[in-house]
Amino acid sequence: METTRHFVATVYVVSEGCVALHEHSKLDMWLPAGGHIDRDELPHEAALRETREELGLDVALIAPQQDIESETVQSMPQPQHFLLEDINVNAEGEVGHQHIDFIFYGRADTRDIAPGPGEQPAEDWEWFSANDLQNRSDELPADVVEVGQQAIGAVGE
C-alpha separations of 38 from 31, 35, 62, 71 in Å: 20, 9, 22, 25
pTM of the model: 0.93
Output Rg (C-alpha) for the chain, integer angstroms. Answer: 16
pLDDT digits (tens, 9 = 90+) for 12-45: 999 999 999 998 877 788 999 999 999 999 999 9
The CA-CA-CA angle for residues 125, 127, 131, to 5°, reads: 140
* Digit-coded pLDDT (tens) for 63-121: 888 889 999 999 999 999 999 998 877 878 788 889 999 999 999 999 999 999 999 89
Pick the CATH number of 5-155 from 3.90.79.10, 2.40.50.140, 3.40.50.280, 3.40.50.1980: 3.90.79.10
More confident of the two residues 133 and 120: 133
Confidence of residue 1 (pLDDT cuts 50, 70, 90): low
Question: What is the structure's pLDDT at 17?
Answer: 96
In the chain, where the domains are located? 5-155
pLDDT higher at 131 or 1: 131
